[in-house]
Chains A and B, each alone.
Chain A
Amino acid sequence: MWRSRRTARSALQQLTTIAVTLLGLLVMTFIIGRMMPVDPVAAIVGEDATRDVYENVYRKLGLDRPVWQQFLFYLRDVATLDFGVSIRTGQPVLNDILHVLPATIELATFAIIIGAGLGAPLGVMAAVNKDRWPDHVIRVFSLMGHSMPIFWTGMIGLLVFYAGLGWVGGSGRMATFYIGLVPERTGFLFIDSAMAGEWDVFWSALNHVILPAALLGYSSAAYITRMTRSFMLDQLNQEYITTARVKGLSSRKTIWRHAFGNIRVQLVTIVALAYGSLLEGAVLIETVFAWPGFGQYLTSNLIIGDMNAVMTCVLVVGLIFITLNLISDLLYRVFDPRTRAS
């Protein structure tokens, strides 16, 4: 009985935290929007509008009101999902973002699979061989990935694997002559091409995603490796590991079935957070690979100073981060028997 009440209270606490974070997020995007050097009125009416038109729009945008009222207007707009129109495309910003997001999600998902698939086993290996040469090699290898300027690695990768060796596709999500061939239903190229039965497009997409995803994954592997290593070291000193050894389990089974089993939940949390920070790398690598995703949308709007688009992009990233935090927290509750209410 008291247990459920406690659960309810912690849920309430968490909701408050989320609400406060969200509000902070909105304040931040609002401030960034206010600071933008671009005149929002001129952006709408054009440079050579008459003074009357200008004044009219100025009032319509609420720019004559005090700042706190403007903020309330902004909250109202956000609540009704009205993020304004992009100056560059003339489309509602939200539509634009929803249109480009799948490309980034596809890239980031491949990247996190590679990053976790590389980082977790390496971390385990480093922990098992602590302070011996595999540990040192893995440490340098993973820190290397973390230290590379991803935009530069992307270029060198293109130079070597595309221009030099021809192993992978070049820029973009698929070869140019496939563009427009597959009807866009979900926006996820792999799903769309599979649904349309266009397997050539599917392979082309795979050929194109593999290099940026591998580089992005490698850069995130350092964090996953380091955390896996430190989690594993904690577990390997536990007494239940001795129990497993006493039972006659081989060290391989002890490590993977018992120790790794116990860090799975923590690992999921770390991977979820790493997924969020992949978005960061995506901004840079999308520029290099001409990947028509969220990162490219954001940077191209930054450069021309499209206020609505930039504010909304920052908001979306913030939302994704909050959601990922929430999901990792939930996964923790669901998968760990100790936190699960019986």
Chain B
Amino acid sequence: MTAATQPRRMPQSLIALRNILAFLMRSPTSAFGLVVLAILILTAIFAPLLATHDPYVQDLQNTLQRPGNGHLFGTDELGRDIYSRLVYGSRITLTIIFLVTIVVGPIGLLVGTVSGYFGGWWDTVLMRITDIFLSFPSLILSLAFVAALGPSLNNAIIAISLTAWPPIARLARAETLTFRAADYISAARLQGASATRIIWKSIMPMCLPSVMIRLTLNMATVILTAAGLGFLGLGAQPPLPEWGAMIATGRRYMIDHWWLVTFPGLAILAVSLAFNLLGDGLRDALDPKQMNKR
């Protein structure tokens, strides 16, 4: 706990990470989250080994087969193996998580640190913009952006990123404000370091750990939004085995063939529950007040 409250110093941050992991493994719920995410990552890496069929190959002789008979979770309306599609779908989910992280992290960091470091006019303008984004429900905004950009997986990721950066910016700003007055920042300034350099070299690395944690917390929402976009036909397009899109196509056959929607839904549920449980554990492991807001 003592190390967890001070996750900022870089040399200590690894120790802090280990302590946090140890703390998380002690609680059964967050341990469940960690395990599910580990499974997700391993599945994505070893998808070709784990899959029993080609996820794209149609077999019109064997459409809508019940689970069993060589198809663990049955087959869909085009005779494709649902289990193999789910396995490959984990790669799409992981791609979404990865891309959203590398887009949202830097944007949020940049806006937050600039706003916090310069203050004044910069701060007012940037934070107003952030507030405007925050005052919107993220799904509706992503819907509108995807509609404007055209439906595709990449555009869905862009749209989600556009709506996911404001809380990160808020956090980075708050962190920056606590560092700005620190002695070593003043020292760097007195030595003539430029603002860009100070932000890049001194402030951003300090904000990074808490930003990463915050991203984990928001990832469940990202997963659900992505699946929702896929379901509405605005995200990943067929024949990609994206879980939300699989549910959308399976919906037509739902009444007589329950397995078409059940398994992809369970996959989404498992991953987003894992992130939520993990986030909840992290919230406990770290300062509860700071993480209270979504």
B141 within 8 A of A: yes
B261 pairs with A283, CB closer than 8 A: no
Considering only CB atoms and an 8 Å cut-off, how many residues of chain A contact the other chain? Answer: 54
Q: Is A36 an interface residue (CB 8 A)?
A: yes
Asked if A28 and B147 make an inter-chain contact with CB atoms under 8 angstroms apart, the answer reads no
Query: Given B135, B227, B247, B255, which contacts A325 in the complex, CB threshold below 8 Å?
Result: B135
Q: A36-B148, A305-B147 are in contact. Are A143 and B280 (CB under 8 A)?
A: yes
Q: What is the size, in residues, of chain B's interface with A at 8 Å between Cβ atoms?
A: 49
CA gap between A299 and B232 in the complex, in Å: 8
Answer whether A147 and B269 are a contact pair too, CB < 8 Å, given A298-B140, A299-B143, A310-B144: yes
Chain B residues near A277 (CB, 8 Å)?
137
**Of the candidates B143, B146, B150, B268, which one forms a contact with A152 in the assembled complex, judged by CB atoms under 8 Å apart?**
B268
Asked if A152 and B265 make an inter-chain contact with CB atoms under 8 angstroms apart, the answer reads yes
* Contact of A61 with B by CB under 8 A: no
A interface majority secondary structure: helix
Q: Are B148 and A37 in contact (CB under 8 A)?
A: yes
* Cβ contacts under 8 Å, B132 to chain A: 20-21, 24-25, 28
* Total inter-chain residue pairs, C-beta < 8 Å: 144
The residues of B that contact A149 with a CB separation of less than 8 Å are 224, 227-228, 231, 244, 247, 265, 268-269, 272
Contacts of A159 in B (CB 8 A): 254-255, 258
For residue B145, which residues in chain A have a CB less than 8 angstroms away from its CB? 32, 35
Q: Which B residues touch A144, using CB under 8 A?
A: 273
Complex CA–CA separation, A223 to B276 (angstroms): 12
A-facing residues in B136-176 (Cβ within 8 Å)? 136-141, 143-150
Taking CB atoms, residues of chain B closer than 8 Å to A317 are 136-137, 140
Structural contact, A151 and B231, CB atoms closer than 8 A? yes
- Encoded as 1 (CB less than 8 Å from any A CB) or 0, chain B from 219 to 246 comes to 0100010011001111000000000100
- Chain A stretch 123-156: residues in CB contact (< 8 A) with chain B: 136, 139-140, 143-144, 146-153, 155-156
Contacts of A227 in B (CB 8 A): 292
SS class, residues of chain B in contact with chain A: helix
Is B139's CB under 8 angstroms from A280's CB?
yes
Contact with B along A10-46 (1 / 0, CB 8 A): 0000000000110011001100110111000000000
Which residues does chain B contribute within 8 Å of A148, judged by CB atoms? 269, 272
Q: Mark B78-113, 1 if CB is under 8 A from A, else 0.
A: 000000000000000000000000000000000000
Do the beta carbons of B135 and A303 come within 8 Å of each other?
Answer: no
B228 touching A155, Cβ below 8 Å: no
Q: A24-B129, A24-B132, A277-B137 are in contact. Are A163 and B255 (CB under 8 A)?
A: yes
CB distance B228 to A321 under 8 Å?
no
Q: Do A156 and B261 have beta carbons less than 8 Å apart? A: yes
B147 to A310, Cβ gap below 8 A? yes
CA A317 – CA B140 in complex, angstroms?
8
Interface on B for A, CB 8 Å cutoff? 29, 128-129, 131-132, 135-141, 143-150, 220, 224, 227-228, 231-234, 244, 247, 251, 254-255, 258, 261-262, 264-265, 268-269, 272-273, 275-277, 280, 288, 292, 294
18 contacts between A and B (CB under 8 A): A21-B135, A32-B144, A32-B145, A35-B145, A146-B276, A147-B272, A151-B231, A152-B247, A155-B247, A287-B232, A305-B147, A310-B147, A314-B141, A314-B144, A318-B136, A321-B135, A321-B137, A325-B135
Beyond the given A303-B147, A314-B141, A318-B136, please list 8 additional residue pairs across the A-B interface where CB-CB is below 8 A.
A28-B136, A28-B141, A35-B145, A37-B148, A143-B276, A288-B251, A299-B232, A313-B144
> What 9 pairs across the A-B complex have the smallest Cβ distances?
A152-B265, A24-B132, A35-B148, A147-B273, A280-B137, A147-B272, A302-B147, A280-B139, A143-B276
